[in-house]
């Protein structure tokens, strides 16, 4: 896992070396083992910071060039099946000088072009400069585990693993994307190809792009989860067997490393199952990492006891850390900078400390359970939603105006009745009615991105075989997973130079689960019915059947300790941007909904961090 960046001056002017140094410096937390700069020409430069995991030898440092110098690669991620791809390439006479997946990726691209993407099994973001064509090929993995941002601003093309790499270059200014700000209020992240900076875009999951100074940038989807159809011939016994096989294979692939691989262990079914599969056929020890809080709070009693039970049962060495309020205070001033893009969920805070604990214990690779809830229906509120739709039916086929109830439950019922988007994702900050009231002047036609999910809803439900439960997984694969959950994992854990691997999001497993019929995957009286049946052959019932708690942070309790301090940033932000109605903002700040207050604090501090710089 690494940090990548690059810059091209499109009028062929010489690039100031300070610009390159700024890009490199902004990425060094992602790759503390080596950092390198490669001037392809005076006006074209690639940057790489390396976290050495496969082939630790310096020969695999990047930027990595083809022997003839035509192609230059910078690559962030892991190609788990690189040995199989290498074998295929060697069979047609291609030779190799390293043992790295980096060289396999480059030579695979030279041989197959964009067709190499179909062969890759892994998590990746990479850029390849082709001197013969004068173009840059950019790609992001299918599920969006690894990020990739770019900007075409005036005479510059700049790309990087993080927004801050582009902003710190100094050639692309910060310009707030107010449409993205408003959409963040709904989704707690920014969907599509947008970011909080109007001058910076991102590649979407399963997408590649080609840039040249002459033709600009063109993008194409090479993988789309919406394209997979349900296979009604699959029976439960087959589904259990195949999910078990694919998950076992996925975990095994994610053990591919020349350094030790650990585990984030909560003690729940997802991380415990991964841990058990990691331990099978292994005699070496396995380290698990767990974060708890010094003070527990209503709705979250901690998971230390559960993690201890799972670790002793699976034979994992458990390393635990406690977060104090003072730890959060120390992090807060840098948190918005560390999270990089707009990520409203406060779980990035404990993830930051998990990454820090992992690195301080001498490790830099872990497996994590992200994605299991979205694929296997692990949320109680998903099941309640499916139940509700069985009893309440649409009474108006043509969608009426979105304005509805601010109360979430009444809003949900109203959306079902009047054919509005009733499930816009697993993470909701403010519903549309709340956003309309909060925004000064209301939601007008200038705000288009906030309707992104509604347009996807309309598109999906015109299909003959559209299915509500499948929609829930598909839309979270489209928005919440890649741009919120996976980005908080990438940005906050990588802040300590730690790579997180997500076996539940291996694309082969995802594709198969998308074809499983609803009656096998969904049971409205129990979460994860299929995954639990898979898990019972590996881990104890006590782990499988324990009540799900979820990974949280006591953000409300922390805000209560100094409310004026937190609210001051919101007021300062609004005095500059004039986004919120003062009357409605006052209502939110006087309410007991501290989650919503945190979403506003986070947006405000994110903006102010960039204005200050």
CA distances from 515 to 244, 326, 370, 594 (A): 15, 47, 20, 39
Q: Phi and psi (nearest 5°) for 604? A: -65, -45
Contact 334, 292 (CB under 8 A): no
Each residue of 535-551: pLDDT tens digit?
999 999 999 998 877 77
CA angle 320, 326, 328 (to 5 degrees): 75
For the chain, the domains span: 2-223, 228-376+476-544, 557-613
Q: What is the C-alpha separation between 92 and 292, in angstroms, rounded?
A: 53
Count other Cβ atoms within 10 Å, centred on residue 371.
26
Q: What pLDDT does 404 receive? A: 64
Q: Which helix (H) or strand (E) holds 292?
A: strand 287-293
Superfamily of domain 2-223: Aminohydrolase, N-terminal nucleophile (Ntn) domain (3.60.20.10)
Average pLDDT over residues 265-291: 92
Q: What is the band of 397 on the pLDDT scale with cuts at 50, 70, 90?
A: low
Q: Look at residue 400 and tell me whether its pLDDT is greater than 80.
A: no
Each residue of 161-171: pLDDT tens digit?
999 999 999 99
Q: What is the band of 78 on the pLDDT scale with cuts at 50, 70, 90?
A: very high
Name the percent of the chain lying above pLDDT 70.
97
Q: What is the C-alpha separation between 489 and 345, in angstroms, rounded?
A: 11
Q: Give the SS3 label for residue 348.
A: helix
CA dihedral 463, 465, 470, 475 (to 10 degrees): -10
Each residue of 167-221: pLDDT tens digit?
999 999 999 999 999 999 999 999 999 999 999 999 999 999 999 999 999 999 9
Contact 355, 488 (CB under 8 A): no
Query: Is 539 buried (19+), middle (13-18) or exposed (0-12) by CB count in 10 A?
Result: buried
* More confident site: 401 or 582: 582
CA distances from 382 to 423, 480, 526 (A): 9, 14, 11
Contact 194, 340 (CB under 8 A): no
Q: Residues 6 or more apart from 286 whose CB is under 8 A from it?
A: 262, 263, 275, 278, 279, 314, 315, 316, 317
Q: What is the C-alpha separation between 336 and 332, in angstroms, rounded?
A: 8
Which residue in this structure is represented by tokens 């992602």? 30
Q: What is the C-alpha separation between 218 and 137, in angstroms, rounded?
A: 10
Q: Phi and psi (nearest 5°) for 588? A: -65, -45
Tokens of 231: 């296979």
Q: What pLDDT does 38 receive? A: 96
Average pLDDT over residues 140-166: 97
Kindly list the strands in the beta sheet with 262-264, ordered across the sheet, starting from the edge strand earlier in the chain. Answer: 317-323, 287-293, 262-264, 365-367, 499-501
Average pLDDT over residues 229-244: 97
Q: What is the band of 295 on the pLDDT scale with cuts at 50, 70, 90?
A: confident
Q: What pLDDT does 1 receive? A: 63
Q: What is the band of 293 on the pLDDT scale with cuts at 50, 70, 90?
A: confident
> Rounded mean pLDDT of the chain?
93
| Residue 303 DSSP label | S
pTM: 0.95
Q: Residues 6 or more apart from 49 whose CB is under 8 A from it?
A: 2, 3, 24, 27, 28, 30, 31, 32, 34, 35, 36
Q: What pLDDT does 55 receive? A: 78
Q: What is the C-alpha separation between 276 and 268, in angstroms, rounded?
A: 12
Q: How many CA atoms lie within 13 A of 131 on its CB side?
A: 16
Q: Residues 6 or more apart from 271 whose CB is under 8 A from it?
A: 263, 264, 265, 288, 310, 368, 369
Q: b/e string for 555-581 if b means 16 or more Cβ within 10 A?
A: bbbbbeeeeeebbebbeebbeebebbb
Q: Look at residue 44 and tell me whether its pLDDT is greater than 90.
A: yes
DSSP sequence for 19-47: HHHHHHHHHTTT-BTEEEEEEEETTEEEE
Tokens of 45: 């430069």
Query: Is 249 buried (19+), middle (13-18) or exposed (0-12) by CB count in 10 A?
Result: middle
Q: Residues 6 or more apart from 81 whose CB is under 8 A from it?
A: 119, 120, 121, 122, 253
Each residue of 2-25: pLDDT tens digit?
999 999 999 999 999 999 999 999
Each residue of 94-104: pLDDT tens digit?
999 999 999 99
Q: Look at residue 48 and tell me whether its pLDDT is greater than 90.
A: yes
CATH 3.10.450.40 fits 228-376+476-544, yes or no: no
């Amino acid at each position: 896992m690494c940090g990548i960046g690059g810059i091209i001056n499109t009028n062929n002017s010489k690039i100031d070396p300070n610009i390159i140094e700024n890009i490199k410096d902004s990425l060094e937390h992602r790759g503390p083992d080596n950092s390198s700069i490669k001037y392809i020409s005076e006006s074209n430069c690639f940057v790489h910071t390396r976290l050495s995991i496969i082939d630790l030898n310096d020969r695999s440092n990047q930027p990595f060039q083809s022997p003839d110098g035509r192609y230059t690669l910078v690559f962030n991620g892991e190609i788990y099946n690189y040995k199989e791809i290498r074998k295929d390439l060697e069979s047609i006479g291609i030779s190799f000088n390293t043992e790295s997946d980096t060289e396999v990726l480059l030579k695979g691209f030279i041989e197959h072009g964009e067709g190499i993407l179909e062969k890759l099994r892994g998590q990746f973001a990479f850029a390849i400069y082709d001197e013969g064509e004068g173009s840059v090929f950019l790609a992001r993995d299918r599920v969006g585990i690894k990020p990739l941002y770019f900007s075409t601003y005036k005479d510059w093309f700049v790309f990087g693993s993080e927004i801050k790499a582009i902003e710190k270059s100094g050639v692309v200014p910060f310009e707030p994307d107010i449409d993205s700000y408003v959409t963040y209020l709904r989704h707690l992240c920014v969907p599509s190809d947008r970011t909080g900076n109007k001058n910076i875009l991102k590649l979407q999951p399963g997408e590649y792009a080609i840039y040249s100074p002459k033709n600009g940038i063109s993008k194409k989807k090479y993988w789309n989860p919406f394209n997979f159809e349900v296979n009604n011939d699959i029976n439960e016994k087959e589904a259990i067997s195949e999910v078990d096989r694919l998950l076992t294979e996925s975990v095994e692939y994610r053990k591919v490393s020349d350094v030790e691989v650990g585990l984030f262990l909560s003690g729940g079914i997802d991380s415990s199952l991964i841990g058990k599969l990691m331990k099978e056929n292994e005699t070496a020890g396995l380290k698990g990492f767990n974060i708890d809080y010094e003070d527990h709070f209503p709705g979250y009693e901690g998971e230390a006891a559960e993690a201890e039970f799972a670790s002793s049962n699976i034979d994992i060495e458990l390393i635990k850390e406690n977060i104090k309020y003072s730890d959060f205070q120390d992090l807060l001033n840098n948190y918005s900078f560390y999270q990089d893009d707009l990520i409203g969920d406060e779980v990035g805070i404990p993830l930051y400390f998990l990454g820090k604990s992992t690195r301080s214990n001498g490790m830099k690779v872990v497996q994590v359970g992200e994605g299991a809830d979205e694929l296997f229906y692990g949320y109680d509120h998903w099941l309640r939603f499916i139940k509700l739709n069985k009893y309440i039916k649409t009474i108006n086929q043509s969608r009426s105006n979105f304005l509805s109830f601010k109360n979430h439950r009444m809003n949900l019922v109203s959306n079902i009745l009047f054919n509005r988007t009733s499930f816009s994702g697993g993470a909701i900050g403010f519903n549309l009615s709340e956003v309309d009231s909060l925004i000064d002047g209301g939601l007008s036609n200038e705000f288009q991105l906030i309707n992104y999910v509604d347009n996807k809803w309309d598109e999906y439900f015109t299909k003959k075989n559209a299915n509500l439960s499948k929609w829930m997984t598909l839309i979270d694969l489209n928005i919440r997973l890649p741009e919120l959950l996976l980005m908080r994992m990438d940005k906050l854990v990588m802040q300590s130079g730690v790579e997180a691997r997500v076996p539940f999001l291996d694309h082969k497993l995802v594709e198969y689960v998308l074809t499983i019929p609803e009656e096998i995957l969904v049971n409205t009286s129990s979460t994860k019915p299929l995954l639990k049946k898979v898990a019972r052959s590996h881990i104890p019932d006590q782990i499988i059947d324990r009540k799900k708690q979820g990974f949280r942070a006591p953000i409300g309790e922390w805000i209560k300790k100094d409310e004026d301090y937190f609210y001051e940033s919101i007021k300062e932000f609004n005095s500059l941007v004039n986004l919120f109605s003062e009357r409605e903002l006052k209502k939110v700040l006087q309410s007991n909904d501290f989650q919503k207050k945190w979403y506003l604090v986070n947006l405000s501090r994110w903006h102010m961090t960039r204005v200050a710089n």
